[in-house]
Amino acid sequence: MIQRNDVYKYKYFNFYYVYMKSTAVANANIALVKYWGKRDKELMLPQNSSISMTCDGMSTATTVEFGNYKKDIFVLDGREFKQGTEYNEVTGFLDIVRKKAEIKQKAKIVSQNNMPTAAGLASSASGFAALALASSKAAGLDLNEKELSMLARRGSGSASRSIGEGFVEWYRGEKPDGLDSYAESIAFKEHWPEFRMLAVVVSKKEKKIKSRAGMAQTVANCSLYPCWLNTIEDDLKIIRNGIKKKNFTQVGERSQLNCLKMHATMMSTTPPIIYWNPTTIEIMHSVIEWNENELESYFTVDAGPQVKIICLKKNVPEIEKRLKKISNIERVIECRPGDGAKLIHNHLF
């Protein structure tokens, strides 16, 4: 991880104001064992542990500058947010950083996603992971990977996993203060370079029910939710071992099953939560058919309509060829195991 931040000073009526600027980039991650539900909403502590792949190909770049600003400024993909949920989440996260760093300066934050935002492609994970690294460094903090993961978790639970590279496990933890709930790499990106995740974008619209609200609704109102939790440890063990042994069938089959179990809890909550659209379902049926006919591939779907196809590098050309025959697919992003969050030199302002 590159350790770098820029510090600027200027004099105004005999007072020195310090501008501290840093830029970070973080990749999104897609869970192979899903996280769904919180046991502590303030500390973002999960009901269950999870395993994901950090995805080279879907990322967020964020520049943070602390200085003589009257209020926090937040710009995402060219749009300035002056109020509302997104603004409050970002400024609330900065308050955590300011308290930790013992500073009071307001900040300007500029972020850019290379994927649709809030559409089920884990943009909040990459977003808060990049914000955690950029803001902590700009504030003068020098956090290690575990500390960064716990900080990123405070913005978005899944962001804790985007700090690490390759294949990452986020531990549920048991302590009420969250000091044992963090993510770390269980296999680096070089471990399985043939592994692929094809993110199939079927809608760029923001989802109506955000993950945070969907989780709370499911935990509160779904009678199947305890059954979901009871199966997680088995899923974690199978996929963790499958990754370490590079057993593709084992990882793919169990990831697909884990995904379907999670969505079953959403669909059976009150009122029901259904993120899929007709194209989502068509792709899922297609993947099952391909797998039955010796084109090994599996699907997983997060809280949104986008399908992620789990496959090996050798099968990507054929899968992409077949996807072209399906209507209403807007984009296919090929992802391989990617880097963890890192500082970069090119500021966004």
Expressed in percent and rounded to 5, the helix, strand and coil fractions of the chain are 35, 30, 35
- pLDDT, residue 118, reads 62
Q: 55: which 2 tokens? A: 């995805």
Which pTM does this prediction carry? 0.92
Report the amino acid identity of residue 255. S
Q: Look at 18-27, 64-73, 309-318 and tell me which has the smallest mean pLDDT.
A: 18-27
Q: How many other CB atoms sit within 10 Å of the CB of residue 101?
A: 17
Give CA torsion, residues 294, 263, 241, 198, to 10 deg: 50
Residue 14: pLDDT over 90: no
Residue 7: pLDDT over 90: no
Q: Domain 195-337 is in which class?
A: alpha beta
- pLDDT, residue 119, reads 62
Name residue, tokens 């993120």.
Answer: 275
Q: Note the helical H segments in the chain.
A: 85-101, 123-138, 145-153, 159-162, 211-221, 225-245, 248-267, 278-292, 316-323
Q: CATH number for the 6-192+339-344 domain, one of 3.40.50.800, 3.30.930.10, 3.30.230.10, 3.40.190.10?
A: 3.30.230.10
Domain boundaries, given as residue ranges, for the chain: 6-192+339-344, 195-337
Radius of gyration of the chain, Cα coordinates, nearest whole angstrom: 20
Mean of the pLDDT values across residues 97-106? 96
Q: 258: which 2 tokens? A: 């884990």
